[in-house]
Structure 1
């Protein structure tokens, strides 16, 4: 009888819950984000929803991995301002990366939020330094210092240090802040010539504080204080002496100076033929050109580290013939092709290649792989200052979208970048 009735119908399974984006864990999302082509693409993806943004913000390890896999993102370069009101900017145009184009288009590289000079002076704003996406400028006509981020359009204005502290006509300024919180920062002013001076403006006190100049070892007798512009790396600012084989280093935590010796052949090397930087894993590194003539010159790479005896020194890492960087189709027998170093960022060296008197190109060299990449072809003009996109504060700090606020002489905006 049971066989006539057959078996009971199988019980119906409950419907499977649909998979949503929230079901993907942060670790898997980060692995997917590592496949994106550039930092502007990551910004666009992270700002698509709160889940994506949380995954990027909550992982410092992801930020380190992304930087290791992607070269520093150059967005263009600031030209030598000459007598113009603000330094002109030449953007990088990339049809293959629409997110990069969007970042450039949404940024304020015209520096429109920088105050105009109300006087008749044509000195305008002078470029000082670059750090963390900020451009530091000085206006000697109005005695103002500005730190401006063209991507976030965050602007900070500072008064010039008192003349009894800094009286040189060419002091140097650097902005210092933590990557985790760019709302707390300091501005450092260093005077090398005449009487050496060090002053720091802090957002906590809103005034300049003078620090004693303590240089260890002591300053050499008979040494004229003439240094090339400083380089900011890993909590230090380094200045190469123009005629001596050493680098002056300022620890930005202790505000103490020290000296780092260089190989003797680098004593009188020109500014455009020497750069300090760091490798991809953060080691202090230097690159120097022994001769800018591409026919006979060599690019030398040395890393600061301990030898087999535990003695720290500059150890030879690699060498590259300058002819490697020359486009033979552009080289001419009438003019010598020359090579200059424009920047050294996170294991990438940026070289200006000059063909004759007018034609110039900008290329990048990855020190780890030796790979070359042409960035600007026949449009680069030296001297210039390449501008690199830093990690946006919106992808680090867990803050709601900020509103612009004005406090005293400071205008702050930690909003997201244009992309």
Structure 2
């Protein structure tokens, strides 16, 4: 009796050993590694730059990925800067108001920034700041030009950090400097440095018409140099010029064609406008372009003063021609007699009712 009782536990131990795997087999199982490509796609889904900073602080590999040039370019293309408000030509800043989510940041900027540009007078060259005209505003930067009765200089200012960059004179090649001094058919705009990583990088693009010839010249803050486009003949002048995803879009004088300047190639192209956007001498159509996100360019079309609706069309930037614009929606308005005031980034404005505008 006693011997049978002592043998039973040993039998159980042998049976358990046959059923269970070795302990070292369980300990050897490791989680599958998460590749950097997958981590990058996850980080791109984070809603704000603040969330991205918190995630990058988790470990060195995350920080290294987030700090890479390619990732920063992708993140900034997907996450537009917040709307802070408007800056009019009188240098009055009109901040976003509640319940807009950017209202607290806009109030802080209104207190901290110098929109009168008085910091320019610290440099004797600038003398009085009011001798400079505002040409364009984008991503918190202000492009200003000196009054025609002075020397026609250009400068880009940062009102929040109270700093500026005086652009070098337009060089005398292919008659560009002479044309700028004449200011004949001349338009100047701020653009983005498409391949830049630093938020301080920008471009300045000037478009000029001389008779039947059209050309453009671009300054890059990264290189500190001007780069011209080839002159082209037979193009009508830009109307209603707007910027989106590295391209300037304008309507020709006949209001039937879309003229596009690709600043990455510094080349002009001409394409048909969609039917909704075509105008005539009897039909004065307003057009504005925005960056709709994920590589989609949006076009707002207002058929004229007597219409109380706006059409919104989209096109993906994947090599398609502009004839492939697709009507996305029609936006009703409760008023007539309006015109587009401007557009920047992902935002657009009309008077009387703000649909959004990101001038700053």
TM-score (norm 1): 0.56
2:178 aligned residue: 164
Higher helix share: 2
Structure 1: segments with no counterpart, 5+ residues: 1-26, 82-86, 324-335, 354-360, 365-384, 389-419
Q: 2:265 aligns with which of 217, 240, 254?
A: 254
2:247 aligned residue: 236
Secondary structure of the residue aligned to 1:181 is coil
2:328 aligned residue: 317
Preserved CA contact (<8 Å) 1:231 1:238:
yes
2:287 aligned residue: 274
Q: Confirm whether residue 284 of structure 1 aligns to residue 297 of structure 2.
A: yes
Number of residue pairs matched?
Answer: 301
Preserved CA contact (<8 Å) 1:280 1:346:
no
Preserved CA contact (<8 Å) 2:188 2:206:
yes
Compute the displacement of 1:135 (Å): 1.7
Secondary structure of the residue aligned to 1:279 is strand
Q: Confirm whether residue 196 of structure 1 aligns to residue 196 of structure 2.
A: no
Superposed, which structure 2 residues align to 1:3-402 within 5 Å? 34=46, 42=50, 54=63, 57-58=66-67, 73-81=82-90, 87-94=91-98, 97-115=103-121, 124-140=131-147, 141-161=150-170, 163-166=177-180, 167-175=182-190, 176-177=192-193, 178-182=195-199, 185-194=202-211, 195-202=213-220, 206=224, 208-214=226-232, 219=234, 225-263=236-274, 266-268=278-280, 270=284, 273-293=286-306, 296-304=307-315, 312-323=323-334, 337-344=336-343, 348-353=347-352, 361-364=353-356, 386-388=358-360
Cα deviation per residue 1:353-396 (whole Å; 9 max; x = unaligned)?
Answer: 2xxxxxxx4244xxxxxxxxxxxxxxxxxxxx8523xxxxxxxx
1:381 aligned residue: none
Compute the displacement of 1:182 (Å): 4.8
Compute the displacement of 1:181 (Å): 2.9
The 3 A distance-change label for structure 1 pair 304 and 71 is closer
RMSD of aligned residue pairs (Cα, Å):
4.5
TM-score (norm 2): 0.64
Q: d(CA) in 2 for partners of 1:67 and 1:212?
A: 29
Secondary structure of the residue aligned to 2:108 is helix
Compute the displacement of 1:138 (Å): 1.0
The 3 A distance-change label for structure 1 pair 210 and 362 is closer
Q: d(CA) in 1 for partners of 2:84 and 2:46?
A: 20
Q: d(CA) in 2 for partners of 1:188 and 1:305?
A: 24
The structure number with the bigger radius of gyration is 2
Preserved CA contact (<8 Å) 1:289 1:298:
yes
Q: d(CA) in 2 for partners of 1:119 and 1:347?
A: 33
Q: d(CA) in 1 for partners of 2:89 and 2:94?
A: 11
* Larger relative contact order (CA 8 Å, sep ≥ 6): 1
Higher strand share: 1
The 3 A distance-change label for structure 1 pair 345 and 120 is closer
